Amino acid sequence: MELTLAITGASGTIYAKRTLQLLAESGVVKTINLIMSGTAATVAQVELGVNLRDPNAAKINSWLGLADESKLIRYWRLDNLAARPSSGSNKQNGMIIVPCSMGTLGAIASGAGTNLIHRAADVCLKEGRKLVVVPRETPYNEIHLENMLRLSRAGARIMPASPGFYHRPETVDDLIEHLCYRILDQFDIPHSKKSEWTGDEVSQ
């Protein structure tokens, strides 16, 4: 399986990191095309204390705890519109934007893309491939909501960063993983089932 994952400048870089780690651990994902917006590195520095400026394979692998020689992650520059994810003839399985800023969401919804994230998302929509968008903003204004509706109607799956609590989370990591597991569910990627609702949680 080949997927593209984009990280934008919205708050919630930890969701991107954990999703990447879970994809790497899944055993079914063989290639991840990674794209970062111009402000993603700034947010990562503020939220996680990690320097992702001028990223390369070694830096990304180190951040995710992957072996230095791992070829799983392929990093593509934001301005590289000749990259694999920009073409519909590259038969990948889909794309995840996590977290997704309102600026990125609006650009994709309008069809007025100017960078590789916008183009890769547009390709998924036009080719009928799965596009999972994880917006992280609050509150939403009417423009945000209209853009989400437009994307949903175009075939995207909108998954706001709003984890559930029915699995009785005990840590922040539990909350983060719950959302990341739900992202993986959209592609039927195997993962831990500890957050899956079984009905046993409710006493009879």
The string of pLDDT tens digits covering residues 106-123 is 999 999 889 999 999 999
- CATH code of the domain in which 70 resides: 3.40.50.1950
CA–CA separation, 154 vs 167, rounded Å?
Answer: 32
The verdict on residue 194 lying in a domain is no
- Inside any domain, residue 175: yes
Q: Does residue 9 carry a pLDDT above 80? A: yes
Q: Determine the Cα–Cα distance for residues 40 and 87; give it in Å rounded to an integer.
A: 23
On whether residue 202 sits in a domain, the answer given is no
In a domain, 197, yes or no: no
Instruction: Give the model confidence (pLDDT) of 21-64 as tens digits.
Output: 999 999 999 999 999 999 999 999 999 999 999 888 889 999 99
- Mean pLDDT in the chain? 93
At residue 194 the predicted structure's pLDDT band, cuts being 50, 70 and 90, is low
Q: Is residue 204 part of a domain?
A: no
pLDDT tier at 196, thresholds 50, 70, 90: confident
pTM of the model: 0.94
Q: What is the pLDDT of residues 133-159, one digit of tens each?
A: 999 999 999 999 999 999 999 999 999
Tell me if 59 is assigned to some domain: yes
Can you tell me which residue has the tokens 């046993």?
A: 200
> Please, which pLDDT band fits residue 128 given cuts at 50, 70 and 90?
very high
Identify the domain containing residue 166 by its residue range: 2-185
Structurally, the chain folds into a number of domains equal to 1
Separation CA 111–CA 105 (nearest Å) = 10
